[in-house]
Structure 1
Amino acid sequence: MERNDKVRPKKYLGQHFLKDQNIARKIVDALIFDDNKRVLEIGPGMGVLTQYLLLIKDIELKVVEIDKESVEYLKNNFSLLQSDIIEGDFLQLDLSTIYAGTYAIIGNFPYNISSQIFFSILEHKNTINQVVCMLQKEVADRIASPHGSKTYGILSVLLQAYYDIDSCFKVPPGVFNPPPKVMSAVIRLRRNTLKSLPCDERLFVQVVKQGFNNRRKTLRNALKNLNLEADVSALALLDKRAEQLSVADFISLTKIIEDSRAGTNN
Protein backbone atom coordinates (compact mmCIF):
# COMPACT_ATOMS: atom_id res chain seq x y z
CA MET A 1 0.00 0.00 0.00
CA GLU A 2 1.50 3.29 -1.10
CA ARG A 3 2.09 5.91 1.56
CA ASN A 4 2.55 9.57 0.63
CA ASP A 5 2.17 13.08 2.03
CA LYS A 6 1.87 12.25 5.72
CA VAL A 7 -0.73 14.22 7.65
CA ARG A 8 0.39 16.75 10.24
CA PRO A 9 -1.33 16.21 13.65
CA LYS A 10 -3.54 19.18 14.53
CA LYS A 11 -3.77 20.27 18.15
CA TYR A 12 -7.20 21.90 17.77
CA LEU A 13 -8.61 18.54 16.65
CA GLY A 14 -6.94 16.71 19.54
CA GLN A 15 -5.02 14.52 17.08
CA HIS A 16 -2.43 12.08 18.43
CA PHE A 17 -1.56 9.62 15.67
CA LEU A 18 -0.81 6.07 16.80
CA LYS A 19 2.45 4.91 15.22
CA ASP A 20 2.84 1.45 16.78
CA GLN A 21 1.63 -1.20 14.34
CA ASN A 22 1.42 -3.98 16.96
CA ILE A 23 -0.93 -1.92 19.11
CA ALA A 24 -3.01 -1.02 16.05
CA ARG A 25 -3.34 -4.73 15.25
CA LYS A 26 -4.31 -5.52 18.86
CA ILE A 27 -7.04 -2.85 18.84
CA VAL A 28 -8.57 -4.31 15.67
CA ASP A 29 -8.23 -7.84 17.07
CA ALA A 30 -10.30 -6.77 20.10
CA LEU A 31 -13.42 -6.64 17.88
CA ILE A 32 -15.60 -9.72 18.38
CA PHE A 33 -17.72 -10.59 15.35
CA ASP A 34 -20.69 -12.86 14.86
CA ASP A 35 -22.17 -12.87 11.34
CA ASN A 36 -22.42 -9.07 11.30
CA LYS A 37 -19.21 -7.35 10.19
CA ARG A 38 -20.51 -3.82 9.75
CA VAL A 39 -18.06 -1.35 11.29
CA LEU A 40 -17.83 2.44 11.53
CA GLU A 41 -14.37 3.81 12.33
CA ILE A 42 -14.21 7.22 14.00
CA GLY A 43 -11.26 9.46 13.11
CA PRO A 44 -9.08 7.13 11.03
CA GLY A 45 -6.40 9.79 10.43
CA MET A 46 -3.80 8.09 8.24
CA GLY A 47 -5.49 4.70 8.52
CA VAL A 48 -3.36 2.97 11.14
CA LEU A 49 -6.41 0.89 12.19
CA THR A 50 -8.11 1.06 8.79
CA GLN A 51 -5.36 -0.98 7.09
CA TYR A 52 -6.00 -3.92 9.46
CA LEU A 53 -9.78 -3.57 9.37
CA LEU A 54 -9.69 -3.93 5.58
CA LEU A 55 -7.96 -7.31 5.99
CA ILE A 56 -11.03 -8.74 7.76
CA LYS A 57 -12.94 -11.01 5.39
CA ASP A 58 -16.41 -9.72 4.37
CA ILE A 59 -16.10 -6.53 6.43
CA GLU A 60 -18.45 -3.65 5.59
CA LEU A 61 -16.35 -0.67 6.65
CA LYS A 62 -17.17 3.03 6.70
CA VAL A 63 -15.01 5.75 8.22
CA VAL A 64 -15.88 9.25 9.44
CA GLU A 65 -13.16 11.88 9.43
CA ILE A 66 -13.43 15.62 10.17
CA ASP A 67 -9.92 16.57 9.00
CA LYS A 68 -9.78 17.47 5.28
CA GLU A 69 -6.08 16.63 5.06
CA SER A 70 -6.70 13.15 6.49
CA VAL A 71 -9.63 12.64 4.09
CA GLU A 72 -7.34 13.42 1.14
CA TYR A 73 -4.72 11.04 2.51
CA LEU A 74 -7.27 8.24 2.88
CA LYS A 75 -8.56 8.78 -0.66
CA ASN A 76 -5.02 8.67 -2.04
CA ASN A 77 -3.92 5.61 -0.09
CA PHE A 78 -7.01 3.44 0.42
CA SER A 79 -8.65 2.85 -2.95
CA LEU A 80 -11.09 0.31 -1.42
CA LEU A 81 -12.57 3.04 0.80
CA GLN A 82 -13.40 5.69 -1.81
CA SER A 83 -17.20 5.61 -1.48
CA ASP A 84 -17.16 4.82 2.25
CA ILE A 85 -15.36 7.91 3.59
CA ILE A 86 -17.75 10.24 5.40
CA GLU A 87 -16.20 13.69 5.68
CA GLY A 88 -17.60 15.46 8.71
CA ASP A 89 -18.01 15.61 12.46
CA PHE A 90 -19.07 12.34 14.11
CA LEU A 91 -21.05 14.29 16.71
CA GLN A 92 -23.17 15.86 13.94
CA LEU A 93 -23.86 12.58 12.12
CA ASP A 94 -27.29 10.99 12.01
CA LEU A 95 -26.09 7.58 13.20
CA SER A 96 -29.36 5.92 12.23
CA THR A 97 -28.45 6.40 8.54
CA ILE A 98 -25.01 4.71 8.65
CA TYR A 99 -26.16 1.11 8.18
CA ALA A 100 -29.53 -0.57 7.78
CA GLY A 101 -28.82 -2.95 10.68
CA THR A 102 -26.67 -3.09 13.79
CA TYR A 103 -22.98 -2.25 13.62
CA ALA A 104 -19.80 -1.81 15.65
CA ILE A 105 -17.78 1.34 16.26
CA ILE A 106 -14.00 1.42 16.50
CA GLY A 107 -11.53 4.25 16.86
CA ASN A 108 -8.83 6.12 18.70
CA PHE A 109 -11.20 8.65 20.23
CA PRO A 110 -10.02 12.27 20.54
CA TYR A 111 -9.62 12.81 24.28
CA ASN A 112 -11.42 16.15 24.26
CA ILE A 113 -14.72 14.73 22.92
CA SER A 114 -14.70 11.10 24.11
CA SER A 115 -17.53 11.64 26.63
CA GLN A 116 -19.68 13.30 23.95
CA ILE A 117 -19.02 10.35 21.63
CA PHE A 118 -20.31 7.96 24.30
CA PHE A 119 -23.47 10.01 24.84
CA SER A 120 -24.11 9.81 21.07
CA ILE A 121 -23.55 6.04 21.20
CA LEU A 122 -26.06 5.76 24.06
CA GLU A 123 -28.69 7.52 21.95
CA HIS A 124 -28.24 4.75 19.36
CA LYS A 125 -27.63 1.86 21.73
CA ASN A 126 -30.06 -0.44 19.90
CA THR A 127 -28.12 -0.19 16.63
CA ILE A 128 -24.55 0.07 17.99
CA ASN A 129 -23.86 -3.41 19.33
CA GLN A 130 -20.15 -3.06 20.07
CA VAL A 131 -17.54 -0.36 20.66
CA VAL A 132 -13.77 -0.90 20.70
CA CYS A 133 -11.90 2.29 21.43
CA MET A 134 -8.73 3.82 22.73
CA LEU A 135 -9.11 6.82 25.00
CA GLN A 136 -7.55 8.53 27.98
CA LYS A 137 -6.95 5.86 30.67
CA GLU A 138 -8.67 7.98 33.30
CA VAL A 139 -11.90 8.00 31.23
CA ALA A 140 -11.57 4.29 30.39
CA ASP A 141 -11.18 3.49 34.11
CA ARG A 142 -14.21 5.62 34.94
CA ILE A 143 -16.40 3.82 32.39
CA ALA A 144 -15.40 0.38 33.69
CA SER A 145 -15.51 1.37 37.41
CA PRO A 146 -17.70 -0.64 39.80
CA HIS A 147 -20.04 1.13 42.19
CA GLY A 148 -18.38 2.25 45.40
CA SER A 149 -15.35 3.56 43.51
CA LYS A 150 -14.45 7.26 43.54
CA THR A 151 -14.18 7.17 39.72
CA TYR A 152 -17.68 5.68 39.28
CA GLY A 153 -19.93 8.28 37.70
CA ILE A 154 -22.61 9.18 35.16
CA LEU A 155 -20.98 7.47 32.18
CA SER A 156 -20.20 4.37 34.28
CA VAL A 157 -23.87 3.87 35.18
CA LEU A 158 -25.40 4.78 31.83
CA LEU A 159 -23.01 2.66 29.77
CA GLN A 160 -23.02 -0.30 32.18
CA ALA A 161 -26.83 -0.33 32.05
CA TYR A 162 -26.72 -1.26 28.36
CA TYR A 163 -23.24 -2.65 27.68
CA ASP A 164 -20.89 -5.27 29.13
CA ILE A 165 -17.51 -3.55 29.49
CA ASP A 166 -14.05 -5.11 29.24
CA SER A 167 -10.77 -3.33 29.95
CA CYS A 168 -8.40 -4.65 27.25
CA PHE A 169 -4.94 -3.09 27.72
CA LYS A 170 -3.03 0.08 28.54
CA VAL A 171 -1.13 2.17 25.98
CA PRO A 172 1.87 4.40 26.88
CA PRO A 173 2.28 7.96 25.53
CA GLY A 174 5.44 7.20 23.51
CA VAL A 175 3.60 5.26 20.78
CA PHE A 176 1.83 8.41 19.54
CA ASN A 177 2.83 11.41 17.44
CA PRO A 178 2.77 13.76 19.27
CA PRO A 179 2.85 11.90 22.62
CA PRO A 180 -0.08 12.87 24.87
CA LYS A 181 0.64 13.84 28.47
CA VAL A 182 -1.44 10.96 29.83
CA MET A 183 -1.69 7.17 29.62
CA SER A 184 -4.26 5.69 27.25
CA ALA A 185 -6.28 2.49 27.43
CA VAL A 186 -8.37 0.31 25.15
CA ILE A 187 -11.81 -0.87 26.25
CA ARG A 188 -14.53 -2.94 24.61
CA LEU A 189 -18.28 -2.45 25.10
CA ARG A 190 -20.71 -5.16 23.98
CA ARG A 191 -24.46 -4.59 24.00
CA ASN A 192 -26.18 -6.66 26.66
CA THR A 193 -29.48 -8.50 26.17
CA LEU A 194 -31.70 -5.75 27.62
CA LYS A 195 -33.82 -4.26 24.84
CA SER A 196 -34.93 -1.56 27.27
CA LEU A 197 -34.74 -0.89 31.00
CA PRO A 198 -37.68 -1.92 33.24
CA CYS A 199 -38.27 1.75 34.08
CA ASP A 200 -38.75 5.11 32.39
CA GLU A 201 -35.38 5.52 30.64
CA ARG A 202 -35.51 9.32 30.47
CA LEU A 203 -36.22 9.49 34.21
CA PHE A 204 -33.39 6.99 34.81
CA VAL A 205 -30.93 9.31 33.03
CA GLN A 206 -32.28 12.27 35.02
CA VAL A 207 -31.89 10.44 38.36
CA VAL A 208 -28.33 9.34 37.53
CA LYS A 209 -27.21 12.79 36.34
CA GLN A 210 -28.85 14.60 39.26
CA GLY A 211 -27.33 12.15 41.74
CA PHE A 212 -23.78 12.52 40.46
CA ASN A 213 -23.98 16.26 39.84
CA ASN A 214 -24.28 16.50 43.63
CA ARG A 215 -22.15 13.47 44.42
CA ARG A 216 -21.03 14.65 47.87
CA LYS A 217 -24.61 14.88 49.06
CA THR A 218 -26.89 12.04 50.05
CA LEU A 219 -29.36 11.16 47.30
CA ARG A 220 -32.16 12.60 49.42
CA ASN A 221 -30.56 16.04 49.05
CA ALA A 222 -29.12 15.50 45.56
CA LEU A 223 -32.55 14.59 44.12
CA LYS A 224 -34.52 17.42 45.79
CA ASN A 225 -35.22 19.04 42.43
CA LEU A 226 -37.20 15.95 41.39
CA ASN A 227 -39.85 16.80 44.03
CA LEU A 228 -39.97 13.28 45.42
CA GLU A 229 -43.10 12.07 47.24
CA ALA A 230 -42.72 11.75 51.02
CA ASP A 231 -42.77 7.94 50.93
CA VAL A 232 -39.91 7.90 48.39
CA SER A 233 -37.92 10.54 50.26
CA ALA A 234 -38.11 8.40 53.41
CA LEU A 235 -36.38 5.41 51.75
CA ALA A 236 -33.19 4.23 53.48
CA LEU A 237 -31.60 3.97 50.01
CA LEU A 238 -31.61 7.77 49.83
CA ASP A 239 -29.24 7.95 52.81
CA LYS A 240 -26.52 6.83 50.38
CA ARG A 241 -24.52 8.87 47.89
CA ALA A 242 -24.77 8.23 44.15
CA GLU A 243 -21.44 6.40 43.92
CA GLN A 244 -22.70 3.78 46.40
CA LEU A 245 -25.57 2.64 44.15
CA SER A 246 -25.17 -0.13 41.59
CA VAL A 247 -26.79 0.11 38.16
CA ALA A 248 -29.54 -2.20 39.44
CA ASP A 249 -30.07 0.13 42.44
CA PHE A 250 -30.50 3.13 40.14
CA ILE A 251 -33.01 1.20 38.03
CA SER A 252 -34.96 0.18 41.15
CA LEU A 253 -34.95 3.74 42.50
CA THR A 254 -36.17 5.12 39.17
CA LYS A 255 -38.98 2.55 39.12
CA ILE A 256 -40.01 3.51 42.67
CA ILE A 257 -40.11 7.23 41.73
CA GLU A 258 -42.03 6.42 38.54
CA ASP A 259 -44.61 4.28 40.38
CA SER A 260 -44.97 6.91 43.09
CA ARG A 261 -45.72 9.59 40.50
CA ALA A 262 -48.20 7.32 38.74
CA GLY A 263 -49.98 6.73 42.04
CA THR A 264 -50.14 10.45 42.74
CA ASN A 265 -51.63 11.16 39.33
CA ASN A 266 -54.38 8.52 39.68
Structure 2
Amino acid sequence: MKNTGHQPRKRFGQNFLHDDRIISRLVSAINPKADDLMVEIGPGQAALTTPLLDKLNQLHAVELDRDLYPFLRAGLEPRGLTLHEADALKFDFTTLMTDDRPLRVVGNLPYNISTPLLFHLLAYKERIADMHFMLQLEVIERLAATPGNKNYGRLSVIAQYYCQVDKLFHVPPGAFNPPPKVMSAIVRLAPRKLSVEAENPVLLEKVVKISFAQRRKTLRNNLKQLLSAEQLEQLTQDLTLRPEQLSVEDYVKLSNQIASFNDASLL
Protein backbone atom coordinates (compact mmCIF):
# COMPACT_ATOMS: atom_id res chain seq x y z
CA MET A 1 0.00 0.00 0.00
CA LYS A 2 2.98 2.36 0.22
CA ASN A 3 3.92 2.66 -3.50
CA THR A 4 1.56 5.41 -4.58
CA GLY A 5 3.91 7.34 -6.83
CA HIS A 6 3.02 10.39 -4.72
CA GLN A 7 5.92 12.77 -4.10
CA PRO A 8 6.20 14.09 -0.54
CA ARG A 9 5.35 17.79 -0.35
CA LYS A 10 7.29 20.30 1.70
CA ARG A 11 4.28 22.55 2.20
CA PHE A 12 2.49 19.72 4.02
CA GLY A 13 5.62 18.78 5.97
CA GLN A 14 5.42 15.26 4.54
CA ASN A 15 8.02 12.66 5.55
CA PHE A 16 6.49 9.26 4.88
CA LEU A 17 7.31 6.40 7.25
CA HIS A 18 8.48 3.23 5.49
CA ASP A 19 10.55 1.23 7.99
CA ASP A 20 8.59 -1.97 8.73
CA ARG A 21 10.44 -2.62 12.00
CA ILE A 22 9.57 0.85 13.34
CA ILE A 23 5.98 0.49 12.14
CA SER A 24 5.66 -2.84 13.95
CA ARG A 25 7.05 -1.36 17.18
CA LEU A 26 4.64 1.57 16.91
CA VAL A 27 1.60 -0.67 16.36
CA SER A 28 2.66 -2.76 19.37
CA ALA A 29 2.96 0.39 21.50
CA ILE A 30 -0.50 1.56 20.41
CA ASN A 31 -1.93 -1.93 21.06
CA PRO A 32 -5.18 -1.41 19.08
CA LYS A 33 -8.29 -3.41 19.98
CA ALA A 34 -10.97 -4.27 17.41
CA ASP A 35 -13.67 -2.00 18.83
CA ASP A 36 -11.44 1.00 19.60
CA LEU A 37 -12.58 4.42 18.42
CA MET A 38 -9.36 5.50 16.72
CA VAL A 39 -8.37 8.35 14.43
CA GLU A 40 -5.12 8.68 12.52
CA ILE A 41 -3.90 12.17 11.66
CA GLY A 42 -2.16 12.31 8.31
CA PRO A 43 -2.35 8.72 7.00
CA GLY A 44 -0.17 9.67 4.03
CA GLN A 45 0.78 6.54 2.09
CA ALA A 46 -0.90 4.28 4.68
CA ALA A 47 2.28 2.80 6.18
CA LEU A 48 0.69 2.85 9.64
CA THR A 49 -2.93 2.86 8.45
CA THR A 50 -2.76 -0.59 6.89
CA PRO A 51 -1.46 -2.52 9.94
CA LEU A 52 -3.88 -0.63 12.18
CA LEU A 53 -6.79 -1.75 9.97
CA ASP A 54 -5.57 -5.33 10.40
CA LYS A 55 -6.44 -4.93 14.11
CA LEU A 56 -9.47 -2.59 14.01
CA ASN A 57 -13.05 -2.86 12.83
CA GLN A 58 -12.97 0.79 11.79
CA LEU A 59 -10.37 3.56 11.57
CA HIS A 60 -11.00 7.26 11.01
CA ALA A 61 -8.32 9.25 9.21
CA VAL A 62 -7.91 13.01 8.76
CA GLU A 63 -5.91 13.96 5.65
CA LEU A 64 -5.26 17.38 4.10
CA ASP A 65 -3.48 16.35 0.87
CA ARG A 66 -6.17 15.90 -1.79
CA ASP A 67 -3.83 13.95 -4.08
CA LEU A 68 -3.87 11.09 -1.57
CA TYR A 69 -7.67 10.79 -1.37
CA PRO A 70 -8.20 8.45 -4.38
CA PHE A 71 -5.45 6.10 -3.20
CA LEU A 72 -6.76 5.95 0.38
CA ARG A 73 -10.37 5.50 -0.69
CA ALA A 74 -9.79 2.82 -3.29
CA GLY A 75 -7.40 0.76 -1.22
CA LEU A 76 -8.62 1.13 2.33
CA GLU A 77 -12.25 2.24 2.60
CA PRO A 78 -13.43 -1.33 1.84
CA ARG A 79 -11.31 -2.49 4.80
CA GLY A 80 -12.91 -0.10 7.30
CA LEU A 81 -11.25 3.28 6.72
CA THR A 82 -13.42 6.39 7.07
CA LEU A 83 -11.59 9.26 5.41
CA HIS A 84 -12.14 12.85 6.53
CA GLU A 85 -10.89 15.39 4.01
CA ALA A 86 -9.84 18.13 6.40
CA ASP A 87 -7.11 20.10 8.12
CA ALA A 88 -6.48 18.48 11.51
CA LEU A 89 -5.79 21.90 13.03
CA LYS A 90 -9.39 22.90 12.27
CA PHE A 91 -11.10 19.51 12.55
CA ASP A 92 -13.85 19.07 15.14
CA PHE A 93 -12.96 15.74 16.74
CA THR A 94 -16.27 15.63 18.63
CA THR A 95 -17.91 14.63 15.33
CA LEU A 96 -16.25 11.22 15.75
CA MET A 97 -17.50 10.75 19.31
CA THR A 98 -20.95 9.33 18.62
CA ASP A 99 -21.02 6.93 21.58
CA ASP A 100 -19.37 6.49 24.99
CA ARG A 101 -16.08 5.14 23.67
CA PRO A 102 -13.09 7.42 24.35
CA LEU A 103 -11.10 8.52 21.32
CA ARG A 104 -7.62 7.18 20.64
CA VAL A 105 -5.45 9.41 18.44
CA VAL A 106 -2.38 8.35 16.45
CA GLY A 107 -0.23 9.91 13.78
CA ASN A 108 3.09 10.79 12.21
CA LEU A 109 2.68 14.53 12.71
CA PRO A 110 4.19 17.14 10.39
CA TYR A 111 6.86 18.91 12.42
CA ASN A 112 5.67 22.36 11.35
CA ILE A 113 2.24 21.96 13.00
CA SER A 114 2.99 19.57 15.87
CA THR A 115 2.80 22.05 18.76
CA PRO A 116 -0.40 23.90 17.69
CA LEU A 117 -2.01 20.55 16.87
CA LEU A 118 -1.23 19.23 20.35
CA PHE A 119 -2.87 22.29 21.91
CA HIS A 120 -5.88 21.82 19.61
CA LEU A 121 -6.26 18.19 20.69
CA LEU A 122 -6.00 19.07 24.38
CA ALA A 123 -9.33 20.87 24.00
CA TYR A 124 -10.87 17.37 23.67
CA LYS A 125 -8.94 15.84 26.57
CA GLU A 126 -12.04 14.81 28.51
CA ARG A 127 -13.00 12.40 25.71
CA ILE A 128 -9.54 11.16 24.70
CA ALA A 129 -8.07 7.93 26.11
CA ASP A 130 -4.56 8.36 24.72
CA MET A 131 -2.47 9.79 21.89
CA HIS A 132 0.53 8.19 20.19
CA PHE A 133 2.58 10.46 17.96
CA MET A 134 5.70 10.42 15.88
CA LEU A 135 7.31 13.80 16.53
CA GLN A 136 10.62 15.58 16.27
CA LEU A 137 12.76 14.34 19.18
CA GLU A 138 13.34 17.92 20.30
CA VAL A 139 9.59 18.46 20.73
CA ILE A 140 9.18 15.25 22.74
CA GLU A 141 12.09 16.21 24.98
CA ARG A 142 10.29 19.49 25.67
CA LEU A 143 7.01 17.67 26.36
CA ALA A 144 8.64 15.28 28.84
CA ALA A 145 11.16 17.67 30.46
CA THR A 146 11.27 18.03 34.24
CA PRO A 147 11.87 21.21 36.30
CA GLY A 148 15.45 22.43 36.08
CA ASN A 149 15.99 20.88 32.66
CA LYS A 150 16.92 23.27 29.81
CA ASN A 151 14.03 21.85 27.74
CA TYR A 152 11.47 22.52 30.49
CA GLY A 153 9.09 25.29 29.47
CA ARG A 154 5.55 26.32 28.61
CA LEU A 155 4.90 23.20 26.50
CA SER A 156 6.18 20.93 29.30
CA VAL A 157 3.98 22.49 31.98
CA ILE A 158 0.76 22.59 29.97
CA ALA A 159 1.20 19.12 28.44
CA GLN A 160 2.03 17.56 31.81
CA TYR A 161 -0.83 19.36 33.54
CA TYR A 162 -3.27 17.65 31.20
CA CYS A 163 -1.42 14.41 30.36
CA GLN A 164 0.94 11.71 31.50
CA VAL A 165 3.82 12.06 29.02
CA ASP A 166 5.96 9.01 28.13
CA LYS A 167 8.75 9.03 25.56
CA LEU A 168 8.75 5.52 24.06
CA PHE A 169 11.57 5.13 21.52
CA HIS A 170 13.71 6.98 18.96
CA VAL A 171 13.18 6.83 15.20
CA PRO A 172 16.15 7.54 12.90
CA PRO A 173 15.89 9.75 9.78
CA GLY A 174 16.34 6.74 7.49
CA ALA A 175 12.92 5.40 8.53
CA PHE A 176 11.31 8.14 6.43
CA ASN A 177 11.08 9.21 2.81
CA PRO A 178 12.50 11.78 2.42
CA PRO A 179 14.74 11.47 5.49
CA PRO A 180 14.30 14.51 7.76
CA LYS A 181 17.37 16.34 9.01
CA VAL A 182 16.48 15.62 12.62
CA MET A 183 15.92 12.62 14.88
CA SER A 184 12.33 11.65 15.64
CA ALA A 185 10.70 9.71 18.47
CA ILE A 186 7.40 8.21 19.61
CA VAL A 187 5.50 9.74 22.52
CA ARG A 188 2.43 8.56 24.42
CA LEU A 189 0.14 11.20 25.93
CA ALA A 190 -2.58 9.97 28.28
CA PRO A 191 -5.00 12.62 29.62
CA ARG A 192 -5.21 12.70 33.40
CA LYS A 193 -6.15 14.90 36.34
CA LEU A 194 -3.59 16.04 38.88
CA SER A 195 -4.25 16.09 42.61
CA VAL A 196 -4.21 19.89 42.38
CA GLU A 197 -6.50 21.28 39.68
CA ALA A 198 -6.50 24.73 38.14
CA GLU A 199 -9.56 26.76 39.10
CA ASN A 200 -9.20 28.60 35.80
CA PRO A 201 -7.25 26.64 33.12
CA VAL A 202 -7.20 29.68 30.80
CA LEU A 203 -5.53 31.73 33.53
CA LEU A 204 -3.07 28.88 34.20
CA GLU A 205 -1.99 28.92 30.55
CA LYS A 206 -1.63 32.71 30.66
CA VAL A 207 0.47 32.61 33.85
CA VAL A 208 2.73 29.91 32.40
CA LYS A 209 3.14 31.76 29.11
CA ILE A 210 4.07 35.02 30.83
CA SER A 211 6.36 33.27 33.31
CA PHE A 212 8.42 31.73 30.50
CA ALA A 213 8.36 34.85 28.30
CA GLN A 214 11.93 35.60 29.41
CA ARG A 215 13.50 32.48 30.88
CA ARG A 216 16.52 34.21 32.39
CA LYS A 217 14.46 36.61 34.44
CA THR A 218 12.88 35.85 37.80
CA LEU A 219 9.20 35.16 38.23
CA ARG A 220 8.79 38.58 39.82
CA ASN A 221 10.15 40.35 36.75
CA ASN A 222 8.03 38.32 34.33
CA LEU A 223 4.81 38.56 36.34
CA LYS A 224 5.08 42.36 36.59
CA GLN A 225 3.31 42.60 33.24
CA LEU A 226 0.32 40.71 34.68
CA LEU A 227 0.11 41.75 38.32
CA SER A 228 0.34 44.95 40.32
CA ALA A 229 3.06 45.45 42.93
CA GLU A 230 0.45 44.92 45.64
CA GLN A 231 -0.73 41.65 44.10
CA LEU A 232 2.84 40.42 43.73
CA GLU A 233 3.41 40.97 47.45
CA GLN A 234 0.40 38.79 48.29
CA LEU A 235 1.76 35.74 46.48
CA THR A 236 3.21 32.96 48.64
CA GLN A 237 5.34 31.55 45.82
CA ASP A 238 9.04 32.44 45.97
CA LEU A 239 9.27 35.03 43.18
CA THR A 240 13.07 35.10 43.17
CA LEU A 241 13.05 31.75 41.36
CA ARG A 242 13.35 31.42 37.60
CA PRO A 243 10.42 29.92 35.67
CA GLU A 244 12.08 26.54 35.02
CA GLN A 245 12.47 25.95 38.77
CA LEU A 246 8.73 25.55 39.42
CA SER A 247 6.94 22.21 39.12
CA VAL A 248 3.64 21.78 37.32
CA GLU A 249 1.87 21.71 40.70
CA ASP A 250 3.65 24.93 41.70
CA TYR A 251 2.23 26.66 38.62
CA VAL A 252 -1.27 25.37 39.37
CA LYS A 253 -1.09 26.70 42.94
CA LEU A 254 0.30 30.01 41.69
CA SER A 255 -2.47 30.45 39.13
CA ASN A 256 -5.11 29.51 41.73
CA GLN A 257 -3.81 32.17 44.10
CA ILE A 258 -3.87 34.74 41.28
CA ALA A 259 -7.43 33.62 40.44
CA SER A 260 -8.42 34.38 44.03
CA PHE A 261 -7.74 38.07 43.41
CA ASN A 262 -10.99 38.15 41.39
CA ASP A 263 -9.48 40.73 39.06
CA ALA A 264 -11.25 40.68 35.66
CA SER A 265 -8.22 42.34 34.01
CA LEU A 266 -6.19 39.18 34.60
CA LEU A 267 -8.26 37.17 32.12
TM-score if structure 1 supplies the norm length? 0.90
What CA distance in whole angstroms lies between the structure 1 residues aligned with 2:232 and 2:88? Answer: 40
SS of the residue 2:61 aligns to? strand
Aligned residue for 1:134? 134
2:107 paired with 1:107:
yes
What CA distance in whole angstroms lies between the structure 1 residues aligned with 2:52 and 2:196? Answer: 31
SS of the residue 2:105 aligns to? strand
2:262 paired with 1:257:
no
Deviation at 1:195, TM superposition (A): 10
What CA distance in whole angstroms lies between the structure 1 residues aligned with 2:106 and 2:181? Answer: 23
TM-score if structure 2 supplies the norm length? 0.90
Deviation at 1:157, TM superposition (A): 0.6
* Structure 1 residues 186 and 4: CA distance shift in structure 2, 3 A: closer
Q: 1:73 aligns with which of 71, 74, 79?
A: 71
SS of the residue 2:126 aligns to? coil
State the identity %. 39
| Alignment RMSD | 2.2
Deviation at 1:205, TM superposition (A): 0.6
Could you list the per-position Cα deviations for residues 219-261 of structure 1 after superposition, in whole angstroms to 9, with x for gaps in the alignment?
1111112124625436452111111111000001011111233
* Structure 1 residues 175 and 217: CA distance shift in structure 2, 3 A: same
* Structure 1 residues 35 and 28: CA distance shift in structure 2, 3 A: closer
Deviation at 1:198, TM superposition (A): 3.8
Aligned residue for 1:43? 42
* Structure 1 residues 244 and 220: CA distance shift in structure 2, 3 A: same
What CA distance in whole angstroms lies between the structure 1 residues aligned with 2:84 and 2:238? Answer: 47
SS of the residue 1:261 aligns to? coil
Asked if the contact 1:27/1:133 (under 8 Å) is kept, the reply is no
2:135 paired with 1:98:
no
SS of the residue 2:45 aligns to? coil
Deviation at 1:56, TM superposition (A): 1.5
Tell me whether 227-236 or 198-207 shows the greater mean CA deviation. Answer: 227-236
Could you list the per-position Cα deviations for residues 109-141 of structure 1 after superposition, in whole angstroms to 9, with x for gaps in the alignment?
000000011110111111222110001000011
Aligned residue for 1:205? 205
Aligned residue for 1:247? 248
SS of the residue 1:40 aligns to? strand
Asked if the contact 2:59/2:81 (under 8 Å) is kept, the reply is no
Could you list the per-position Cα deviations for residues 50-79 of structure 1 after superposition, in whole angstroms to 9, with x for gaps in the alignment?
111112244x41000000112221112113
Counterpart of 1:155 in structure 2: which amino acid?
A: L
What CA distance in whole angstroms lies between the structure 1 residues aligned with 2:174 and 2:34? Answer: 36
Tell me whether 33-42 or 182-191 shows the greater mean CA deviation. Answer: 33-42
What CA distance in whole angstroms lies between the structure 2 residues aligned with 1:99 and 1:63? Answer: 14
* Structure 1 residues 187 and 249: CA distance shift in structure 2, 3 A: same
Could you list the per-position Cα deviations for residues 9-44 of structure 1 after superposition, in whole angstroms to 9, with x for gaps in the alignment?
111111000110121121122125689611110000
* Structure 1 residues 3 and 212: CA distance shift in structure 2, 3 A: closer
Give 5+ residue unaligned stretches, structure 2. none
SS of the residue 1:30 aligns to? helix
What CA distance in whole angstroms lies between the structure 2 residues aligned with 1:36 and 1:221? Answer: 52
What CA distance in whole angstroms lies between the structure 2 residues aligned with 1:34 and 1:87? Answer: 25
2:117 paired with 1:117:
yes
Number of residue-to-residue matches in the alignment: 260
Give 5+ residue unaligned stretches, structure 1. none
Q: 1:89 aligns with which of 87, 90, 99?
A: 87
Counterpart of 2:86 in structure 1: which amino acid?
A: G
